[in-house]
Chains A and B, each alone.
Chain A
Amino acid sequence: MSQAGTAAAPTLYPFEFRGTGSAYFGIWIVNLALTIVTVGIFSAWAKVRTRRYFNGSTWVAGHAFDYHASGYRILIGRAIALALLLAYTLSTHFHPAIKVLWYLAGAWLLPWLANSSIRFNARNTSYRNLRFNFTATDTEAFMAIVLWPFLGLITALILWPFAQRQKDYFYINNHTFGGRYFETKFPTWRMYAIFAIGLGVYGFILAVLLGLGFAAMAVLQQSHGTPFANVPPAAVGYIVIAMFYLPFLLIAPAIHTMIVNLTASGTLFDDKHRLESKMDPLKVTGIVISNVALCLVTLGFYYPWAKVRLARYQMSKLTLVASGDVDSYVSEVFDSQSAVGEEIGSVFSFDFGL
């Protein structure tokens, strides 16, 4: 492994998102209308266009990314996912005990589905005429997606940050571009630190909310108590869920941002080039909250601008720190690749996500 940065002075290439809310609005609303008219079938093509717009609007070092998936394959993927869901629902409806079998099958099925989707999207993403790829085995996927989270859960979340690290390692370290690997590496304690901060802030907000909540309950009990309500506990349940869920929603964007900063900034490509993500978790939280507020006020029509605003900020804080001139590096190293693109169509991989 060569020492990064010794051969040549590092050159900074900032990422940039050039998409606009108004252009994406047209894409979003027209595709939504077509999805409705076709009873959901067009949603597969809508997804392709959306993803292509976001990839194609993301620029770094003078080139944009691109997305090449075909709507048909996404449609097939969704049909399979829907069939599985139907099979699950129907079989458990008639034989509730069959659930156990499904959970066992799910432990195998889930990693396969995840692998397949990530691989599909990686292979359909290009930059400078070259494709990305994802090379994880199903066993690796099983460890990262089923086993580690499970261990994280049964150890009362003590292992959860470690499981999160395993998941990030799985996702990033199996991605390749032009046959060369990305590799992220960071000390586990930093992931623990992020979750510790999250837990602290969550506890604080929860305490404040519970305090307010009890005060509100006391007032409500005097004035509310609707006459013979239809399942009043439902209302009580909502309040309780909201109390515990709201702080979680509030801190989720910040936690997610800190994790992205950590994993991206620890990422090396081809042992030479680094990524650097310097998003401000509070700023992201502010953007997300104001986005939600504006979406509500505009009955949802602000959504395209919301998505673009977030992408702009995220990309503006992402930098490629290349050792030397990235252009000559790419031209030399990635000249004449074996035709990875050729076999893409023949491999069984679909996107099962939304």
Chain B
Amino acid sequence: MIVGRYFFANSARFVPARASVDDKRILKITGEDGGSLAEAPLRQVKITPRLADLPRKLMLPDGACFETLDNDGVDELIGIARHLVSGGWMDRLERSWRAIVVSIILASAAVGAFVVWGIPALAFQLAMKTPDWMAAAVSDQTMTVLDSHYIQATEISEADQAKAMRIFEQVAKTGACAPHVCRLLFRSRLGANAFALPDGRIVMTDAMWQMAKPEELAGVFAHEMAHVRLAHGLQRVYEASLVPALIVVVTGDISQIGQMAVILPGVLVQSAYSREFETEADRSALTTLRKLGINPAVMAGLLERMDRERCGDRPCGGSWLGDHPDTAFRAALYRSGR
């Protein structure tokens, strides 16, 4: 016998009532005065699955409904016909600390694995399948922004440009990058720097040309060509959208909380991926330099000189948020040759 409220068929009107089930599995609803309100075979009654301590409903076929807060009472009442209620197992899991602990471990492991392996693998697949015209469009966009705000035309002489071009072509010929894909562009400002755009444009600043010796320049080009060949730029674009997507899947909502919570972990995860790309590009540059008969250790010298230029005698140090691994790590990589 459980106590609750009986709502009349398709009505918001209710009276206090009691429910019981007899030997023939007939659900009987009686009023407080003991008079019968409704009867129905249990198998025709739709019983809502238990969920936390929410009110439970026994919905009768005619649109009437018995509602009670006595969840245990309902479970007991229908004990003989448990198979009629779907979803009871869900509630038992949701309230069992064992299931919760297992779920925490499972969810953490799955999310972790997706972040560490899943997203990079997916981004790589997508980047490799991206049509050339899209990569070109992205690069055009970037170059326009750069040209209008951050960089200017080069001041390097034509002869020097030709020299740089020759080194560039030699590096490309080792297989670092298909010659029709990678092109060298000259710009000034932004300090001693070089960077690659997804469609194969590689930009070198005047300061970089002045600072690097020809052998070192080969290493710089090899590094940038690796970024192009391995589609690192595009992978970053895809990763930037996969991280928020993951958070939406986990929380199941696209609310402001979700949106706001995306940014910081997004940036952290992104820079971790980015550092991985840099190491990958450095390793590739190492192989290319060997093919050209250049000792990779020269790159360590260049990196350290650039660091001194920027930060004086104290090392710049790596940054947690930085896109690149710190110089000491990169220099060691080039020196060890592995």
Which residues of A does B touch, CB under 8 Å?
19, 23-27, 29-33, 35-37, 40, 43, 45-47, 49-50, 52-53, 56-57, 64, 66, 68, 93, 96, 127-130, 178, 223-238, 242, 249, 252-253, 256, 288-289, 291-292, 295-296, 300-301, 303, 306-307, 310, 330-342, 354
Interface: B238 (CB within 8 A): no
Query: Is B11 in contact with A334, judged by CB distance below 8 angstroms?
Result: yes
Query: Is A228 in contact with B52, judged by CB distance below 8 angstroms?
Result: no
* Nearest-Cβ distance from residue B286 to partner chain A, whole angstroms: 15
Chain B residue contacts of A19, Cβ below 8 A? 52
Q: Select which of A29, A249, A334, A339 is within 8 A of B259 by beta carbon.
A: A249
Q: Select which of A24, A29, A227, A331 is within 8 A of B13 by beta carbon.
A: A331
Smallest Cβ-Cβ distance to A42: which chain B residue: B90
Query: Is B55 in contact with A56, judged by CB distance below 8 angstroms?
Result: yes
Q: Select which of B11, B224, B261 is within 8 A of A337 by beta carbon.
A: B11
Smallest Cβ-Cβ distance to A227: which chain B residue: B306
Query: Is A223 in contact with B311, judged by CB distance below 8 angstroms?
Result: yes
Smallest Cβ-Cβ distance to B133: which chain A residue: A96
Q: Given the known inter-chain contacts A32-B107, A32-B250, A53-B52, please indicate yes or no for A66 contacting B57, CB distance below 8 A.
A: yes
Chain A residue contacts of B193, Cβ below 8 A? 225-229, 232
* Nearest-Cβ distance from residue B289 to partner chain A, whole angstroms: 14
* Nearest-Cβ distance from residue A308 to partner chain B, whole angstroms: 11
Please measure, in the bound complex, the distance between the C-alpha atom of A333 and the C-alpha atom of B59, giving whole angstroms: 21
Please measure, in the bound complex, the distance between the C-alpha atom of A339 and the C-alpha atom of B327, giving whole angstroms: 73
Q: Which of B189-208 contact A (CB under 8 A)?
A: 190-198, 208
Please measure, in the bound complex, the distance between the C-alpha atom of A37 and the C-alpha atom of B105, giving whole angstroms: 12
Q: Given the known inter-chain contacts A223-B316, A229-B193, please indicate yes or no for A307 contacting B257, CB distance below 8 A.
A: yes
Please measure, in the bound complex, the distance between the C-alpha atom of A336 and the C-alpha atom of B7, giving whole angstroms: 10
Chain A residue contacts of B251, Cβ below 8 A? 300, 303
Chain A residue contacts of B191, Cβ below 8 A? 225
Query: Is B10 in contact with A56, judged by CB distance below 8 angstroms?
Result: no
Q: Which of B12-66 contact A (CB under 8 A)?
A: 12-14, 48, 51-55, 57, 63-65
New A-B pairs, 9, CB < 8 Å, besides A57-B52, A225-B310, A354-B253: A24-B52, A26-B95, A31-B94, A49-B90, A64-B55, A129-B14, A130-B11, A232-B195, A296-B264
Query: Is B146 in contact with A233, judged by CB distance below 8 angstroms?
Result: yes
Chain B residue contacts of A47, Cβ below 8 A? 252
Interface: B265 (CB within 8 A): yes
Chain A residue contacts of B106, Cβ below 8 A? 33, 36-37
Smallest Cβ-Cβ distance to B110: which chain A residue: A36
* Nearest-Cβ distance from residue A289 to partner chain B, whole angstroms: 8
Chain B residue contacts of A30, Cβ below 8 A? 90, 93-94, 99-100, 103
Q: For B146, B194, B257, which residue has the most chain A Cβ atoms within 10 angstroms?
A: B257
Chain A residue contacts of B90, Cβ below 8 A? 30, 45, 49
Query: Is A231 in contact with B195, judged by CB distance below 8 angstroms?
Result: yes
Interface: B220 (CB within 8 A): yes
Chain B residue contacts of A301, Cβ below 8 A? 104
Smallest Cβ-Cβ distance to A353: which chain B residue: B254
Q: Select which of B10, B14, B57, B102 is within 8 A of A338 by beta carbon.
A: B10
Query: Is B150 in contact with A341, judged by CB distance below 8 angstroms?
Result: no
Chain A residue contacts of B229, Cβ below 8 A? none
Smallest Cβ-Cβ distance to A328: which chain B residue: B13
Query: Is A233 in contact with B252, judged by CB distance below 8 angstroms?
Result: no
Query: Is B323 in contact with A230, judged by CB distance below 8 angstroms?
Result: yes
Query: Is A310 in contact with B54, judged by CB distance below 8 angstroms?
Result: no
* Nearest-Cβ distance from residue A261 to partner chain B, whole angstroms: 16
Smallest Cβ-Cβ distance to A337: which chain B residue: B10
* Nearest-Cβ distance from residue A77 to partner chain B, whole angstroms: 15
Q: Given the known inter-chain contacts A37-B106, A249-B260, please indicate yes or no for A23 contacting B10, CB distance below 8 A.
A: no
Q: Which of B256-293 contact A (CB under 8 A)?
A: 256-257, 259-261, 263-265, 267, 274, 277-278, 281
Q: For A19, A26, A230, which residue has the most chain B Cβ atoms within 10 angstroms?
A: A230
Give 27 CB contacts A-B under 8 Å: A23-B53, A30-B94, A33-B103, A37-B106, A46-B252, A49-B90, A50-B252, A52-B51, A56-B54, A66-B48, A66-B55, A129-B12, A178-B12, A225-B310, A227-B193, A227-B306, A228-B193, A229-B324, A231-B198, A232-B323, A249-B263, A291-B257, A303-B257, A339-B10, A340-B10, A354-B252, A354-B254
Q: Given the known inter-chain contacts A33-B102, A295-B257, please indicate yes or no for A334 contacting B13, CB distance below 8 A.
A: yes
Interface: B145 (CB within 8 A): yes
Please measure, in the bound complex, the distance between the C-alpha atom of A32 and the C-alpha atom of B327, giving whole angstroms: 41
Chain B residue contacts of A226, Cβ below 8 A? 193, 322-324
Q: Select which of B110, B190, B236, B303 is within 8 A of A231 by beta carbon.
A: B236
Query: Is B10 in contact with A336, judged by CB distance below 8 angstroms?
Result: yes
Please measure, in the bound complex, the distance between the C-alpha atom of A31 and the C-alpha atom of B52, giving whole angstroms: 13
Query: Is B7 in contact with A128, judged by CB distance below 8 angstroms?
Result: yes
Please measure, in the bound complex, the distance between the C-alpha atom of A178 and the C-alpha atom of B93, giving whole angstroms: 35
Q: Given the known inter-chain contacts A249-B259, A249-B260, A339-B63, please indicate yes or no for A233 contacting B54, CB distance below 8 A.
A: no
Q: Given the known inter-chain contacts A32-B103, A32-B107, A46-B252, please indicate yes or no for A228 contacting B145, CB distance below 8 A.
A: no
Query: Is A228 in contact with B103, judged by CB distance below 8 angstroms?
Result: no
Smallest Cβ-Cβ distance to A295: which chain B residue: B261
B303-321 contact mask (Cβ, 8 Å, vs A): 1 or 0: 1001100110000100000
Query: Is B51 in contact with A253, judged by CB distance below 8 angstroms?
Result: no
Chain A residue contacts of B208, Cβ below 8 A? 228
Query: Is B310 in contact with A223, judged by CB distance below 8 angstroms?
Result: yes
B155-166 contact mask (Cβ, 8 Å, vs A): 1 or 0: 000000000000
B231-249 contact mask (Cβ, 8 Å, vs A): 1 or 0: 0110010000000000011
Q: Given the known inter-chain contacts A43-B252, A296-B265, A303-B251, please indicate yes or no for A29 contacting B54, CB distance below 8 A.
A: no
Query: Is B52 in contact with A23, judged by CB distance below 8 angstroms?
Result: yes
Query: Is B261 in contact with A232, judged by CB distance below 8 angstroms?
Result: no
Query: Is B267 in contact with A238, judged by CB distance below 8 angstroms?
Result: yes
Query: Is A296 in contact with B10, judged by CB distance below 8 angstroms?
Result: no
Q: Which of B44-92 contact A (CB under 8 A)?
A: 48, 51-55, 57, 63-65, 67, 90
Interface: B8 (CB within 8 A): yes
Interface: B154 (CB within 8 A): no
Query: Is A310 in contact with B257, judged by CB distance below 8 angstroms?
Result: yes
* Nearest-Cβ distance from residue B314 to partner chain A, whole angstroms: 11
Chain B residue contacts of A128, Cβ below 8 A? 7, 12, 14
Q: Select which of A130, A296, A340 is within 8 A of B261 by beta carbon.
A: A296
Q: Given the known inter-chain contacts A129-B65, A249-B256, A292-B260, please indicate yes or no for A228 contacting B223, CB distance below 8 A.
A: yes
